[in-house]
Structure 1
């Protein structure tokens, strides 16, 4: 029998919202997952949402549904029409059978719509869509109010416990409120009071349409983070007006999708915006929901204990672990699957028009397809998993969850594989949460762990199945003056070449080295080598960008200090600066398509590096080089890549593209760019030129097939070494084990 964790008393306590009571303060906030757009996916969406209700979420809010065709996000985007709402009865029924409560979010895209019917407060085009929005006529505004009310009534008729109005993130309601996007001269836009008329009219019409028993939530933007956004007085007047018109709950939102300040990626400090939620809470008499980077239940509890909010929105954390609330209730907080806010499998996928899932939980959004069916005891198999990187760890957990007898082998003394290195990158500190959770989860699942053991093929003959998850090795570099060691573990001077020094060569050397110190990214991030003051990084993929940030980021990391982070990004108090952004960050919006999501736009190259010392000197000069002619970081995630590129520019990292590497000698790194030869004078060269699969054990097992041989399954980097894709590796591992 489990005992509820005493450390989460507030988070797990019920709350009366006026229309009904929720069983705890955990809200699964609105998040589009790609199952909303087609009514044919209603069964899959029901399974996805009901799983979170069974896991104990106090309140669930769906992804956004438009009240009419004009407001759809895409031409075939989600709309709360009669056909769709009729299909949603299965969703509300399954959530209610799991003792859950659920709201439908109504979202009009406004000028963010990606289709020619886009309409907004005024004519114009947003940075996120190639389509120019038309100006809604006065009658068009009134019809939109009526459409919101009709859609809300249909939602309640379909069994929803209420609706949420999306008034944040720069969508239509938010567009009417901001001076930058509403310069109308009629009753819908002449001054701050007139700009509030439309959202207040929508709230009042919806309240009347859904009746006295349904809940009405409004997602309010507390910090627009765009030039010409709202100021704090306007936001508070709006909040009080919404409550007067029957809004029961205010859910807080931070940042427009076109904002040049990150608000949801892993480099944003935890609960960075909770003080603004507290300020709102002091000005209204309804419950307030805090959001944005509150991923850790312990942090959520702290926010509640400090009186900063009444409820906590934890959308992505409930993707990662749909049973997070139940685990807290049962005293199993250490077994919660953590969300690391990487966005790789969720938001990045959605903004590419794909179905969302989760790096840490590949079953998210695929509950009816990726099923871990328990096996009967007589069908149990002995499963060996070799390699304790993300793929191996999740393979072991999935196999144990199905009921197999699992032993996990790891050649080193630590779990986590290359994720350990990722956790050392400034801005990715939350990755360490995953490293801390795996040992507890493995122990709870009954997985046997053998650290410091590199099994041979002979050692594995007693198993029925062997999952090879041995990962990757750094790719060898064929460059005059430099070669990697035969086992791929690190670089060494080429035979007969200049005095190029590999990791560890300097210790105890009789003479000073005469050439650059050549190391791999693993040498650097695992602490086997120290970089110099002038560094060249060969390879500008995801690892190269991470290494560049590791070498150039401010210390200590702004991610660990909310005030330092706000100074770093120019975030201001909306009571002092309209939109909550310093004037010097108000550069022109990026070109269309340069980003999307809450972190969707690209900071301008001429933005000041706020963390540079007053004398302009930098501690280290870093060169980042790639063979391709494309922009460095072009292949990074849609919602995170622009943040990394902005940080590199801030830090003054020198970027080289279209590079042909020639040689390394005592002078430095020689390259050719186009027809020009260049010498990059450095004292350290870091190799980030890709990886190769380490599958020697798999090959040995496959070559020695006999009647006693186990079945061999190769997953993760051992199967495909292209980049380091933990999401693909984990998904492949779980899919493989589901078939054992």
Structure 2
């Protein structure tokens, strides 16, 4: 903790005041736009207001809402549409709620373009050209000149309404592959009229939108443009055109540029854990060198020490992360107070946020490491009316959340863990390349246990008699690897995934992994990446002009029962995992029915016939089952709550386990 605290004491750039046009801001930490899955629903408006109000209390210098569509054609399910009076009236509640606690809020003006879904908007989507979307698998209608004129006016009208109902600024969505970005890119704009062809033609609609808005709202109202710094799409807008576009936006009257990265259909990770912290800040920094208005960055800016350095070094003027505000509603407050140790860091897992927006029907957005996010109305964090003695058995992520929540509610909590370290499955997950953010969650829980005076008993398995002295017992002992009934499973070279991830066995050179779910893919990635020297070693060799360090001759084969692999991994992340496995040369054999493990191989069948996979080590990643516990015996003496994998191992994931633990602990009274 001491190193982190010292870093934060030195972090001063984020605390500097700043300006976006006429808007004076007390520091450099904004909250970026994200849809919550609550928009457009009358019965969820209070919930949405409370969500933003809590972030305003958390000292966000400026909050940017999820996008509000400027026309029905540019919308989606659970989205406000600014051409509807009832939606504008509902949107007026958000600035009232935020201003009530001294915050500032801006409305994002949005148009989906070819990313709209006809079933949701009730008509064929529109776009610069009739080019099918890989995301929706629909082909939009090419916009007419009349459509374009109406859309420009709709953006201007939306900005005028935002100003009228009390928003402190507006942000124009022109990134992430939405309509204005589609016009700018030659990938999606094949027009031959004034709005296509040349770069000047492709950027015309964006410039017209800015000028039309400026005419409606006047010279002093803050206007932010979220532009794409890098589309991550082959043959799209060039870096040179991007710089020219930024300069044209400034000349047209934009007060700040918020730099987005990537399209939803691009094959470059932009928000997943594998992306280094601040990994795309250099893109924003390059743009900043060519404009005189503030430049804002967002992607993977989840910790203050990285963000502060980027501002101090001149890459950015402001940061506007979104998901870190889900993980911790006091993101800015804690940073400004120097409380890095108390920060609940976003781990970029996407499981309860982005993945919830990619399913149909959409699910409300929340956060794996903060299950209250988006539901503050339902779960106010206040003391219970009576303090109870609560025991929590198991200190994996579910047990840690249960202990922290129960203590926050004012209960007297004792946490039991049979191992010598906290964290359970998260401790193992943190070993996977690109997943070390899981250690941040363990660090946070550990800090909170200490602050809340939770008694932690390590390497201890409590007896029924000991637990009987408590009012409530939360059993969160999690899961253990399932050992499938395969002949040869007891051979000495057969191990389970926990033994590998906990470093209990030495890794082989010819490895067969039985099971191709999330754990099997993670283990394959770890072992395939482990063939190579660490990046720091490679960098040292290059710096010393030495030959590239040799790799270990390790072969990794994943055996999948079905014709798919990576099942159980969220939609926004599965493709990244599979892409990494392909890059690392992991072999995947699908529709493999395992018959036997021999000392030298795994023997099985595929639709093509018998298959023998040579292996000097076999790793079982064939699912999980609940760890044994004594809930039934204990229930005769105290109130027992079984959560997470201990309750039901089928389909278990961290999001479900942590949410169940939170709810069980919260409801103790």
Distance in 1 (alpha carbons) for counterparts of 2:373 and 2:666: 15
**What per-residue deviation string (whole Å, max 9, x for no partner) do you get for residues 59-83 of structure 1?**
1111111100111135x64322321
Distance in 2 (alpha carbons) for counterparts of 1:56 and 1:458: 47
Distance in 1 (alpha carbons) for counterparts of 2:632 and 2:502: 28
Q: How far off is 1:44 after superposition? A: 1.3
Distance in 2 (alpha carbons) for counterparts of 1:562 and 1:436: 29
**1:679-694 pair list within 5 angstroms:** 679-694=612-627
Q: How far off is 1:520 after superposition? A: 0.6
Aligned to 2:161: 154
Distance in 2 (alpha carbons) for counterparts of 1:22 and 1:559: 39
**What per-residue deviation string (whole Å, max 9, x for no partner) do you get for residues 695-726 of structure 1?**
42323313xx2xxx221111111111124411
**What per-residue deviation string (whole Å, max 9, x for no partner) do you get for residues 109-166 of structure 1?**
1111111431111112111113211111112111110011011111111211121001
Q: In structure 1, which of residues 372, 396, 402 is the aligned counterpart of residue 403 of structure 2?
A: 396
Distance in 2 (alpha carbons) for counterparts of 1:393 and 1:148: 47
Aligned to 1:732: 660
Distance in 2 (alpha carbons) for counterparts of 1:23 and 1:94: 19
Q: Secondary structure at the match of 2:506?
A: coil
Aligned to 1:370: 379
Q: Does 1:16 align with 2:19?
A: yes
Distance in 2 (alpha carbons) for counterparts of 1:334 and 1:542: 30
Aligned to 1:678: 611
**1:283-298 pair list within 5 angstroms:** 283-298=290-305
Aligned to 2:351: 344
Q: Are the aligned partners of 1:39 and 1:83 in contact in 2 as well (CA < 8 Å)?
A: no
Question: Aligned in 2, Cα 1:241/1:16: closer, same or farther, shift over 3 Å?
Answer: same
Q: Are the aligned partners of 1:268 and 1:559 in contact in 2 as well (CA < 8 Å)?
A: no
Aligned to 1:205: 212
Deviation larger for 191-200 or 124-133: 124-133
Distance in 1 (alpha carbons) for counterparts of 2:311 and 2:151: 36
Q: In structure 2, which of residues 609, 622, 629 is the aligned counterpart of residue 696 of structure 1?
A: 629
Q: Secondary structure at the match of 1:155?
A: helix
Q: How far off is 1:354 after superposition? A: 1.1
**1:15-414 pair list within 5 angstroms:** 15-74=18-77, 77-81=79-83, 82-115=85-118, 116-352=123-359, 353-376=362-385, 379-414=386-421
Aligned to 1:488: none
Q: Secondary structure at the match of 1:139?
A: helix
Q: Are the aligned partners of 1:121 and 1:176 in contact in 2 as well (CA < 8 Å)?
A: yes
Distance in 2 (alpha carbons) for counterparts of 1:447 and 1:736: 17
Q: How far off is 1:51 after superposition? A: 0.8
Distance in 1 (alpha carbons) for counterparts of 2:278 and 2:531: 20
Distance in 1 (alpha carbons) for counterparts of 2:663 and 2:381: 9
Aligned length: 650
Q: Secondary structure at the match of 1:640?
A: helix
Aligned to 1:524: 500
Structure 1 vs Structure 2 CA RMSD:
2.3
Q: Are the aligned partners of 1:386 and 1:467 in contact in 2 as well (CA < 8 Å)?
A: yes
Q: How far off is 1:214 after superposition? A: 2.4
Distance in 1 (alpha carbons) for counterparts of 2:552 and 2:534: 17
Q: Secondary structure at the match of 1:639?
A: helix
Moved over 3 A (4+): 2-5, 554-564
Aligned to 1:425: 432
**1:589-738 pair list within 5 angstroms:** 619-628=553-562, 630-674=563-607, 676-702=609-635, 705=636, 709-738=637-666
Question: Aligned in 2, Cα 1:208/1:563: closer, same or farther, shift over 3 Å?
Answer: farther
**What per-residue deviation string (whole Å, max 9, x for no partner) do you get for residues 684-703 of structure 1?**
0001111111142323313x
Distance in 1 (alpha carbons) for counterparts of 2:161 and 2:21: 22
Aligned to 1:438: 445
Distance in 1 (alpha carbons) for counterparts of 2:58 and 2:658: 22
Question: Aligned in 2, Cα 1:557/1:221: closer, same or farther, shift over 3 Å?
Answer: farther
Distance in 2 (alpha carbons) for counterparts of 1:560 and 1:324: 31
Q: Are the aligned partners of 1:466 and 1:710 in contact in 2 as well (CA < 8 Å)?
A: yes
**What per-residue deviation string (whole Å, max 9, x for no partner) do you get for residues 451-496 of structure 1?**
11111111112211111111111112211222xxxxxxxxxx3xxx
Distance in 2 (alpha carbons) for counterparts of 1:410 and 1:535: 32
Aligned to 1:461: 468
Question: Aligned in 2, Cα 1:324/1:77: closer, same or farther, shift over 3 Å?
Answer: closer
**What per-residue deviation string (whole Å, max 9, x for no partner) do you get for residues 484-536 of structure 1?**
xxxxxxxxx3xxxxxx21xxxxxxxxxxxxxxx11110110111111211111
Distance in 1 (alpha carbons) for counterparts of 2:355 and 2:82: 25
Q: Are the aligned partners of 1:690 and 1:723 in contact in 2 as well (CA < 8 Å)?
A: no
Distance in 2 (alpha carbons) for counterparts of 1:258 and 1:562: 32
Distance in 2 (alpha carbons) for counterparts of 1:148 and 1:190: 23
Question: Aligned in 2, Cα 1:675/1:193: closer, same or farther, shift over 3 Å?
Answer: closer
Deviation larger for 155-164 or 260-269: 155-164
Gaps of 5+ in 1: 483-492, 494-499, 502-516, 565-612
Q: Are the aligned partners of 1:177 and 1:195 in contact in 2 as well (CA < 8 Å)?
A: yes
Distance in 2 (alpha carbons) for counterparts of 1:665 and 1:554: 25
**1:552-563 pair list within 5 angstroms:** 552-553=528-529
Q: Are the aligned partners of 1:695 and 1:719 in contact in 2 as well (CA < 8 Å)?
A: no
Q: Secondary structure at the match of 1:275?
A: helix
Gaps of 5+ in 2: 541-547
Question: Aligned in 2, Cα 1:557/1:103: closer, same or farther, shift over 3 Å?
Answer: farther
Q: How far off is 1:39 after superposition? A: 4.3
Question: Aligned in 2, Cα 1:52/1:159: closer, same or farther, shift over 3 Å?
Answer: same
Distance in 1 (alpha carbons) for counterparts of 2:667 and 2:97: 28
Aligned to 1:533: 509
Q: How far off is 1:4 after superposition? A: 12
Distance in 2 (alpha carbons) for counterparts of 1:660 and 1:618: 29
Question: Aligned in 2, Cα 1:214/1:181: closer, same or farther, shift over 3 Å?
Answer: same
Q: Are the aligned partners of 2:8 and 2:305 in contact in 1 as well (CA < 8 Å)?
A: no
